[in-house]
Structure 1
């Protein structure tokens, strides 16, 4: 506690208090939501740490069967996102998020007992069908809780909390995975399910604003025709290109390090640690500067430039000296993380700002498909087109990011001009839901 007679101490106290407030939700509802997010992400960390080992060693799956099953599940998640978004516009984002958490908890319990590829594919598909809607409805909920001036910072707080939860869950799973016992391994998946149930129970207590008047669709499939604004789809595509940073981190950097002679393989976990720590510490400071369309557009532009610089750093040839390769990898990791932070903040603000009020969840669901498509296409692109061509491939990727950095301004200007027409809902029929 600072001495009240010490001006410097009082100043330090005010600065510390201000920094702490930046990392905390500003309302009781926001803090409850953050606690729910921490709980569910802890469970996800448990699952991600031990799932692959469990399914191949205990559930009797080969690597090929695991890959095929996950591919089928990813497709199920992709096609279910927009219909679930339409349902969230009718039933409310909180109701859908609670329902999907409980649904996924049940299927995680089922995954703990699956045997064989068919049962795995069915259970994984049912779980993943509800997984992809989590991001859009979370964003819609945060927008309602935090309001226009604070929603992007609040999304950054939630993301930071989730990163912490993932790390704690993975850390908690590590000693369990050292025990080669099927019930211990099943306990990891069941623990994830339990965390989801607790997270859902916390959300039930969450107070949210009254629902906006929403568009009524004949059926969930009609929601696919609800997003006819090509400008919003263009924004989704630009953001999807920038989300390639996820595949560069997960696939590109590790393969780059192991492919450069003399570069220690132990550098890979160091790079992941650098990315995680920097993201946790700086996501909120980056996001708090994004408060409107202008600052969000600037954030996406900076994201593209940072990611272009990352790719240039990785154009160092395999014949480079080990020290040069290590420094290039570290520089690339820092630039990639900066691009990640700017992309997240800019994407949150713009996707919410230009989603019509009566179709908020549907539009946010469409926006999330940019990252989902990247998840499917990105690994093939990075391995088959970038890494396979060495420095030229990385320079080509840098050019792609540089072009992407030039597009947000043009797209946002067109979205601004199209704001009034976007309020109409030609795909909706019937009376608006109250």
Structure 2
């Protein structure tokens, strides 16, 4: 793998560079909020742990249900306009969060936030598709993901002095700082000049578009990608719990492992995007991601029952494999979701594809905590087998998509069924 240069981290087009800057600004705000959100909810709003957990669960379900309808809106009015609206909506929600004074208001505002949050990734992909050529879009997405990881880290660092201040003004600043970041991001997106699209926008309603979606092959691919997206929950929930509860490794190793993941993701996401510019390359990346995640699970299983020194080493190997799986999964998922989404329904299809990873965020924590960690080594081995099966299914699903009839334009009846 060729080591990247500074130029490799700069998008090829002016629009791509502007878009990367918006991603950096919004991710700084998100990192600021994520680092201080729990403290804000407990000390400022006055919520209990149970109320926070229930509210976020309800919001996640609402965001899941809203993802595809917002994608349909993106196809009707353009993903660029819709993404601007989503960023402004998120800014308004965070301003509203300052005035939340109880669990019911928290659930309402959090659900409104989740509606825009869940639709942002597919809208982002759709806008990137309009600002770059096919040969550069995966690299641009890799750069944006790299920039976002940097932004999250910077935002978390900015949150530290505000949390230390432990005052009402500091807590409000955490939330309003995120609102400002989204407002600035929307302003930059307004200045973004996209090439004039030759693709006609759909005029169908969201309900008709959703009811008419029958591309089960694409849904299957989205499910496989969502399965491999479980690495997010393994990193945030699985590694901390398993390290502390089942191994002799010191708890202090957990933040080091997470930091290692972040650094590797920043350094390697762009190089890992090489060779994934077509369907075979993207499929290869997705399969490699599944195998790397399987290896990661085996390593975590082996960390149990060893000395502290050995456990730390094995967990480190598992963390590196987890990161490799994450990088390959992201690259493969981006390209395959693009390639098999019809032009007139790009935002709708990308939103459907994103349901896999969104659904993982809802059920993933229960799977990792109850099924995997709850059953110990056998749970990790079982999850490894699950990842291997998902990787092996990628090729046949892509073959089905290649052989499938393409959907008719959104406003015209299909000449033949979308699924047999």
* Residues 195-274 of structure 1 aligned to structure 2 (within 5 Å): 195-211=181-197, 212-217=199-204, 219-274=205-260
Q: Render the CA deviation track for 1:108-162: whole Å, top value 9, x for unaligned.
A: 0110221110111111111111111100010011111111000000000000001
Distance between the aligned counterparts of 1:90 and 1:144, measured in 2?
15
Q: In structure 2, what is the Cα distance between the partners aligned to 1:203 and 1:329?
A: 41
| 1:215 CA drift (Å) | 2.8
Within the candidate set 106, 127, 132, 1:120 is matched to 106
Aligned with 1:415 (options 397, 401, 411): 401
Distance in 1 between the 2:189 and 2:42 partners? 34
Contact kept? 2:247, 2:311, Cα under 8 Å: no
Rounded Cα–Cα distance in structure 2 between residues aligned with 1:398 and 1:261 = 19
Provide the residue aligned with 1:102 in structure 2. Answer: 88
- Equivalent in the alignment of 1:56: 42
Q: Secondary structure at the match of 2:194?
A: coil
Cα RMSD of the aligned pairs, angstroms, is: 1.6
Q: Tell me the residue number matched to 2:301.
A: 315
1:355 aligns with 2:341: yes
1:9 aligned residue: none
Query: Which of 270, 281, 288 pairs up with 1:302?
Result: 288
Partners of 1:223 and 1:427 within 8 A in 2: no
CA distance in 2, matches of 1:294, 1:73: 37
Specify which of 292, 313, 316 is matched with residue 330 of structure 1: 316
Report the more deviating stretch, 133-142 or 206-215.
206-215
Contact 1:387-1:394 within 8 A present in 2 as well:
yes
Q: Structure 1 residue 149 and structure 2 residue 102: aligned?
A: no
What is the deviation of 1:293?
A: 0.2
Match of 2:353 among 344, 367, 379: 367
- Counterpart selection for 1:136 from 104, 112, 122: 122
- Residues 351, 364 of structure 1: 8 Å contact kept: yes
Cα deviation for residue 427 of structure 1 reads 8.5
- Aligned residue for 1:422, secondary structure, equals coil
Deviations 1:241-280 (A, max 9, x none): 1001111111111111102353110000010011000000
How far apart, in 2, do the equivalents of 1:131 and 1:427 lie? 31
Tell me the equivalent position of 1:392: 378
CA shift at 1:426, angstroms? 7.9
How far, CA to CA, are the matches of 1:158 and 1:258 in structure 2?
33
SS at match of 1:190: helix
Residue 220 of structure 1: how far off its partner (Å): 1.6
Provide structure 2 residue ranges, at least 5 long, that are not aligned to the other structure.
Answer: 415-420
Unaligned runs of 5+ in 1: 1-14, 430-434
Matched, 1:178 2:164: yes
* Structure 1 partner of 2:326: 340
CA distance in 2, matches of 1:193, 1:387: 37
1:332-372, Cα deviation, whole Å (9 max, x unpaired): 00000000000000000000110011100000000000001
The answer for the alignment partner of 1:286 in structure 2 is 272
- Structure 2 Cα separation of the partners of residues 397 and 267 of structure 1: 23
Q: For the Cα contact (< 8 Å) 1:222–1:427, is it kept in 2?
A: no
Match of 1:41 among 12, 24, 27: 27
Length, aligned pairs only: 412
Equivalent residue, structure 1, for 2:57: 71
Q: 1:292 to 1:423 in 2, by over 3 A?
A: farther
Summarize deviations over 1:201-245 as a string: whole Å, max 9, x none: 00001011223123321x222222232111101100110110011
**Cα distance in structure 2, aligned partners of 1:71 and 1:401:** 25
TM-score normalised by L of structure 2: 0.95
Q: How does 1:10-29 map to 2 (within 5 A)?
A: 19-29=5-15
CA shift, 1:319, in A, is 2.3
